[in-house]
Each structure stands twice: as C-alpha cells, then as structure tokens.
Structure 1
C-alpha cells in the first residue's frame, strides 16, 4: 500500500510539473504551420503595405508561411465575419484599425456588435496622424482662417472623407464640436477622388495621411494647413500643429492599426505574437517604411490596445450621437 501511495504521489507531481511547463512549450513551438492574417483593408493601401512587409519578416522569423488575405468592404464586417468563428489558436489573425474597434459599435447599433467582445487584442502595428489638406489655390493660410469661415457661414464650408465613420469624417465632426461650427461632410468612394476633389476645389478641405495624399501633394495641387496632433511630424517639420495654426486646442486626429484574434486566444500565444511583431518592427526595413509614411511604431501590450480603444470609443460615441450618424 505504501508503494502504491508513493506511486500516486509521484504520478501527481509529474502531471503538475508537465502542466506547469505547457505554456512554455506552446510558446516555444508556435507556430508549427502557416499563419493567415486577414485584413479589412484593400490591397495596395497603407495598412496592407505595412502588413505585407511585417508578414514577410514574421515568416522568416517563424520559419513558417504568413499569408495575407484581403477582405475589404462592409465597414470591416466582411473581414470580421470571415475570422470570428475560426479557431482561437494563433493561426487566424485579423488586421483592424481603431475605428473598427471603437466606432463600429456605434455606427451599426442594430447589430449589437462590440468588436472587442468578439476579438482579443494581440499586437499593435502603427499609428498614423492626419493633416488638414486644402487646395494650393485656397484662400486659407491657417486653420484659424478655416474655422473663422465656418463660423461666419454655417454649413457653407465643405470637407470630404473616405467614408462615413472614417477618421476623416469623425475628425471633421470633432473640429465642429471643439470650435462650435457647422460644416458639410461629403463622403467619397475612392481616396484618389477625395484628394482630386480637394485639389480642384470641389470640396474645401479634408484630412489626409502622407501615403494617401502623397501624389497630389508632390504635384503641388494641395498643401497642408496643420497636423491634427500635439506635435509636428518630423517628415513635415514646417507644418504647424492644429493649436499652432490657430485651431482648437487638444485636436488629435489619428488612427491606429492592430492585430486581433478570435476570442479565447491562449495568453502564451498572445505574448509570443506580440513580442515577435514588435521584434520585426525594429527591423531597419520596417523602420524606413514607417518613416516614409509618418507612421508611429507602437509598443503596446494587448491590455494597452484595449485601453486605447476604450479612449477612442468614448470620443466616437459622443461624435456619433451628436448627429445620430449611422451606417445602417
């Protein structure tokens, strides 16, 4: 009997020891097969370009294929629907931006869909600031001039964006709220049409990232009045901040892009992916791409991603409710 009890104790100890090292083993062996990253962005877009470069670096680091699957459209739901029911094992990831995380629940109220109740944050990719772009022929020389015109002629100043609920749209709503003005929003189907519209004066201004507006900017057809951020961009040091340009203080319009996974991803796999994504983002090639686009590399943990999404959510909730904005 003593031998039997001793055998049971040894067996129990071995079982507990094995369980204790399972996370370490999982972390050490992941991934053992191809990883697919679905993206809500179109091929050739800024987020897609970064994702493909990061995926290539991850593939080399992991010695496994990392595949990119573009599923744009539908406010992000085409991509989200295709991933949300897949196994939460780290082999099915999804690229979304802060608007998918924080604005979608307000824009599609009847769906009763809260993005971060369905997906777990995994790793950050970048944050991009937005500039206020006008035609080179515009009479406005500062953001102060733009706001003054909007105040003197309610509803007459027009601004464009790449879609209802986009940062370009909600950023304009934020300027209205902070400056107590009323402007007219025009949504475009194509980003190229948006900045052509600004260049020709069909619309008077729009938010723009460096990659999305580079062609029109370099051709001399648009210029930037300000950057909607607390500090100037090193890539555009002569462009003042919104506050420096006489605009509303505290204006900070940006979007961040992250990787998420179906709910329930094991913590050790999450930690592995987060660490490895940040490792490849330190690569000189990735740093150079980020510098070209004025993208800011982020070192957020999954908890920090959730925290930042909640901060965005509070802002977007107010802006959407203010004009009852909806995509339904």
Structure 2
C-alpha cells in the first residue's frame, strides 16, 4: 500500500510539472492583464505602461493595463493575489503593499508572502530630501541645525500616513534628534504643492515628483535617501554622508504574479521584463523619469522586501504608526 501511495504521489507530481511546463510553452494564447495598484500617471503606472507596450510586441498578444488604486495599494495587490495563477494576470506594485502595509494594517486581505509570486523589480528611483527655498539651507547639516534650534516649528509633507515618504522622514527625525510635524497628503503632487505654498517646509519624495521643481529653482534638493549615490542624481549626497545612517527610501516598482503561477511562466516574464527595462530606448525613458532599470531575479525581489520589512518595522513601532 505504501509503495502504491508513493508511486501515485510521484505520478501526480510529474503530471503537475508536465502540465505546468506545457502551460508555459503555450503561454500566452490570449491577452495578458496588468493590474497597477495605484492611480494613472503614478510612477508604478508609468513603468507598467512602458513595459506593457514592449511586452505586447515581444509575446505577440495584447497586454492591457488596468488601474485598481486604493487602500494604500492593497486593493490592486489583492486583486492580483486572488487572480487565477495562469500568467494572464500580473501586477505592478511598490514596497508598501508587500512590506510596510503588513505592519500598518491589523489585517490585510492577502498575504504577500504566500499569495503572491515575485517576478522582478523592474525599476527604482531615489527618494530625495527637498526643502523650500524659504528655509535658507543648502545642506543636511544646516537643515538639522535649524530643526534642532526650533523643535516642532517645521512641518514635512508626505504621500500619506505609512508611506515611504512618511517613514523616511520619521526615521530622519528620530535618528537626528529633531522634532518635525507630519502633514499627510493624498499623493506626491499634493505633497509637493504643500511645500511650494508654504504649508510645509520639506519632504522626502520620489525624484520624479520633485526634481522638475528643483531644476526650476522652486525647491532645493539636499540629499538622496539611498544606500549609495544615485546614478541619475550623482551630485546629490546621501543622508548617510551627512551622518544620518540607514535611511533608504528607494522608490522601487516591481511586477508580481499570483502564487502558484507556473515557474516557467514566472521565469519567462522575468526574462522578458528584464530585457525590456534594460533596452536602450526604455533606459532613456526611465532616465527621463529619474528612474534606473533593475530587472533582478525573483529571489532578489523577495530579499528586497524582507530588507524593507526589517528597516521599517522599528520606525513604525517607535512612532506608533497605523492605518487601521
């Protein structure tokens, strides 16, 4: 009986592997849907559309982008998690729905670790610490000196409670011994407008949201919140160079698939997307958005999520940040 059970198990496993390989060889036979967990014109949406246009050409089938924004990215990410694992629904998301949101919400409608399959981080862009021209500071040291001399007097804007822009500034305040008032906004555009209008005086925001204003002389960029200097903004020092350690607010954008999507399909998607983002024309388009191509492996993607979790958990706990 035991031998029969083992034999049956081996046969069943072989059939599953064979069917998965066959599905991958046939894929795709119909349009592929790409669910973006954020609004049109957001950076995840920009990357999704750049990649999808090229992906459609490469696989010979339409690739349709669909925006499902809301609940800090949870709605769209949940839609991907609950889709059929057949390679015909994939998603585009950022760190929040895969890492920080698991700490900010008491319960998510999906489990990022078990309900989603990482495909690749397609691109990343640095988050930039910017200040209003009215602050009259030119570097991080001068900014911190001003903040320490005026505790609670200055405000910072963010893309919402629990966003990387919020967590990065909260970490900056605690690690530099300063006190800054948080003012959340619905998105990066509103957070930038708040600085321009004088409602807030600073923020850590994605480069694409702030650098046009920096180049127009309306804002001042003083540092990047990255582990090392950014290739798209090489003249800006890191926060670590100014003595504020381990604040990495990289605004990466990744593709995910439902869990149990055949490994061969995930591999094919990763290969196609990596080649797309590292092609010369797409690299130039990403550079115009202050983004750098990545195209790493699923394992590297998963490691980045784990690193984000470890980085932001103490910040969220120390500041009692919640979205419930």
Question: When the two structures are superposed, what TM-score results if normalisation uses the length of structure 2?
Answer: 0.89
Provide the C-alpha distance between the structure 1 equivalents of 2:153 and 2:114, rounded to a whole number of angstroms: 40
Q: 2:259 aligned with 1:243, yes or no?
A: no
Alpha-carbon distance between aligned partners in 1 of 2:77 and 2:21, rounded to the nearest angstrom = 30
Which runs of 5 or more residues in structure 1 are unaligned? Answer: 1-14
Alpha-carbon offset, residue 24 of structure 1? 4.7
Deviation at 1:151, TM superposition (A): 2.5
What's the counterpart of residue 179 of structure 2?
A: 182
Cross-structure match for 1:272: 268
Corresponding position: 1:325 with 2:321: yes
The equivalent of 1:308 in structure 2 is 304
2:150 corresponds to: 153
**CA distance 1:150–1:163, shift in 2 (3 Å):** same
Alignment of 1:165-176 (within 5 A): 165-176=162-173
Does the CA-based 8 Å contact 2:213-2:219 persist in structure 1?
Answer: yes
- 1:251 is displaced (CA, Å) by 2.9
Separation in structure 1 between the aligned mates of residue 137 and residue 250 of structure 2, nearest angstrom: 23
Partner of residue 297, structure 1: 293
Match of 2:220 in 1: 223
Of 76, 79, 103, the residue aligned with 1:79 is: 76
Which residue of structure 1 lines up, in the alignment, with residue 99 of structure 2? 102
Secondary structure of the corresponding residue to residue 137 of structure 1: helix
2:77 and 2:97 in contact (8 A); partners too: no
SS in 1 for 2:134: coil
* 1:36-60 per-position Cα deviation (integer Å, ceiling 9, x unaligned): 0100121112221121110010000
TM-score relative to the length of structure 1 = 0.88
Partner Cα separation in structure 1 for residue 103 and residue 14 of structure 2? 47
Structure 1 counterpart of 2:7? none
The whole-number CA distance in structure 2 between the counterparts of 1:301 and 1:16 is: 25
1:257 aligns with 2:253: yes
Greater Cα radius of gyration, structure 1 or 2: 1
After TM superposition, the structure 1 stretch with the greater mean CA deviation from structure 2, 68-77 or 178-187, is: 178-187
CA contact (8 A) 1:104 1:115 kept: no
Paired with 2:141 and 2:159, the residues of 1 have a C-alpha distance of 24
Cα RMSD, aligned residues only: 2.3
SS in structure 2 of the partner of residue 131 of structure 1 = strand
**Which has the larger displacement, 51-60 or 103-112?**
103-112
CA distance in 2, matches of 1:74, 1:265: 25
Contact persistence 1:233–1:294 (CA under 8 A):
no
2:54 to 57, 62, 66: 57
1:181 CA displacement: 2.5
Distance 1:294 1:85 in 2: 33
Match of 2:141 among 139, 144, 147: 144
* Equivalent pair of 2:72/2:96 in contact (CA under 8 Å): no
